Amino acid sequence: MMESMQGIRGLQVSPLCLGGNVFGWTIDEAASFRVLDAFVDGGFNFIDTADMYSRWKPGNQGGESETIIGNWFRTSGKRGKVVLATKVGKDMGEGRLGLKRAYIMQAVEASLKRLQTDYIDLYQSHDDDSSTPLEESLAAFDQLVKEGKVRAIGASNYLGTRLQEAIETSRRHGIAEYVCVQPHYNLYERADFEQNLAPVCLATGISVIPYFSLASGFLTGKYRSEDDLAKSARGQGVKKYLNDRGFRILAALDAVAKDHNATQAQVALAWLKAQPAVAAPIASATTVEQVEELLGAARLALEPGAIKTLTEASA
């Protein structure tokens, strides 16, 4: 069954996006293939990665996630079933970074080769590059759209003022414009997005695909004390959430999850999905069981009372 699709201008995407940061980092190629198959066979189509995933792992060079996805496309024949998003701009080493025209043109070819495809559905600026004029970067993206190598473009980690400036630049020059933004946004991390970016997104029609949707696993409810931090590689990133506000959020998640016969992670994602302008939260999975849980989250619709409970607890 194909899941009902959401609109990002020019693209029809499933209401949840599978994060590819774990491919080649915390899971190997075989496990990644199982996760990808379960996601697409479950009727979902939106997969996000980046050229630099997962350069941070000792022994990795960057490009591991794209390479695994490319191998999966080749062996599964499922490229046509996927809306593929990747990113450019973060440091790949040896001076390969930023959004200068020449570098975008070089980086896109490297991504296409690793991904074993001739087009990228959504090509995103991974970071703002203040050293390069917006017009230069956007004109490069526009050329890739005209050449058919890219279908749409998006931004990640942009401030609201800069995103507004980028949209105005595109419209002034009649070139491709960002159709979505990828911010750090979840039930705990709210203020920055809601005050800074959300007004620009709502005013310009930009869709939102939030990353760290589960706050590095904190919103799954599995970290409730410092003793729990050793449970995974991401544990130390969760320490900052173990405070009064964090525990208040967990209590609200517990209550709503119990009422809906759902998991805390499903409820946290369903809350995010219900926020204005959000097209599809990004979440990663390392097992088929986790994929099943994510698909359940995408199908969970919270009523206004439950959303209010969560919104007030996390204020």
Digit-coded pLDDT (tens) for 104-152:
999 999 999 999 999 999 999 999 999 999 999 999 999 999 999 999 9
Tell me what percent of the residues of the chain surpass a pLDDT of 70. 98
Calculate mean pLDDT across residues 163-168. 98
Asked if residue 83 has pLDDT above 80, the reply is: yes
Mean pLDDT computed over every residue of the chain: 95
Calculate mean pLDDT across residues 255-272. 98
Asked if residue 2 has pLDDT above 90, the reply is: no
Residue tagged active-site, from 53, 103, 158, 223: 53
What span, in angstroms and rounded, lies between the C-alpha atoms of 256 and 153? 36
Q: How confident is the model at residue 262 (pLDDT cuts 50, 70, 90)?
A: very high
Asked if residue 218 has pLDDT above 60, the reply is: yes
**Residue among 184, 188, 196, 182 nearest 46 (CA):** 182
**Residue among 35, 313, 48 nearest 207 (CA):** 48
What span, in angstroms and rounded, lies between the C-alpha atoms of 298 and 249? 20
Q: Sheet containing 120-125: give its strands across.
A: 207-208, 178-182, 150-156, 120-125, 83-88, 46-48, 17-19, 282-283
Judge residue 307's burial from the number of C-beta atoms within 10 Å of its C-beta, 0-12 exposed, 13-18 middle, 19 or more buried: middle
- Residue 223 bears catalytic tag: no
**Residue among 90, 105, 99 nearest 166 (CA):** 99
Q: How confident is the model at residue 3 (pLDDT cuts 50, 70, 90)?
A: low
Q: How confident is the model at residue 6 (pLDDT cuts 50, 70, 90)?
A: confident
Find the distance separating the first CA and the last CA of the chain, reported in whole Å. 37
Give the CATH H-level superfamily of domain 6-218+265-302. Answer: NADP-dependent oxidoreductase domain (3.20.20.100)
| pLDDT tens, position by position, 29-73 | 999 999 999 999 999 999 999 999 999 999 999 999 999 999 999
Do residues 228 and 235 lie in contact, with contact meaning Cβ atoms separated by under 8 Å? yes
Calculate mean pLDDT across residues 196-225. 95
Q: How confident is the model at residue 237 (pLDDT cuts 50, 70, 90)?
A: confident
Q: How confident is the model at residue 1 (pLDDT cuts 50, 70, 90)?
A: very low
What span, in angstroms and rounded, lies between the C-alpha atoms of 215 and 33? 25
Residue indicated by tokens 């209401």: 15
H-only helix segments in the chain:
29-41, 64-76, 101-115, 134-146, 160-173, 191-192, 198-204, 244-260, 264-273, 288-299, 304-313
Tokens of 202: 């709502």
What span, in angstroms and rounded, lies between the C-alpha atoms of 86 and 47? 8
Q: How confident is the model at residue 308 (pLDDT cuts 50, 70, 90)?
A: very high
Calculate mean pLDDT across residues 268-289. 96
The answer for residues whose C-beta is within 8 angstroms of residue 284's C-beta and 6 or more apart is: 18, 19, 20, 21, 22
Calculate mean pLDDT across residues 231-246. 85
